[in-house]
Amino acid sequence: MNDQIKPDATAPSHQTRRPWRRLAIVSVIGSLAASLGAGLAHAHGGPGGWGGWHRGSDSADPQAMQRRAEARVKWMLADIDATDAQQKKIAALMTAAMTELRPLRQQAQEARREVMQILSKPQIDRAALEALRAKQAQAMDQISRRITQSLADAAEVLTPEQRVKLAERMEKRRGHRHGRG
């Protein structure tokens, strides 16, 4: 027993700091995910969106998508000292994701129409509804994977300090939305 080396009680333990660091990193990535996910949803024409693809004649215009993405990124990254180059790179990542996800969005719109057709018939075709549900679940998985990839790519553009600032900013905004601020 005396042969075992005991850690110095006064030396900082990397093991005691690691859980905190991991928690901080997960929190930052989670906040970034929420922020960029909201940005994608808004730019994609989600609830309360910024004039997404279903509004206006420039909806498929890549330059219009880029402008919306840049505006959203600028707003998201306010107060974290992100450089113009970082903002442009993240906006480009968002635009690429929006472009790739556009066919899946159109597929979801068509599926909603199909569901309404099935439900408006005298007999409900449960097998057809289930087939549509399964198809949409697969599409949602593709969307989730693509957004997760975009979030990781965007997080790598920022410094660890910027990610911490962004997480703090998003947590503060979250608190205000939920009546805690």
Give 109-131 pLDDT, tens digit per residue.
999 999 999 999 999 999 999 99
Tokens of 121: 């018939």
Q: How far apart are CA 158 and CA 138, in angstroms?
A: 31
Mention every residue, 6+ apart, whose C-beta is less than 8 A from residue 142: 104
Amino acid at position 30, single letter: G
* pTM, full prediction: 0.59
pLDDT in tens, 45-67: 443 333 343 343 345 677 887 78
Half-sphere exposure of 101 (CA within 13 A, CB side): 29
- pLDDT value for 178: 55
- Does residue 175 carry a pLDDT above 90? no
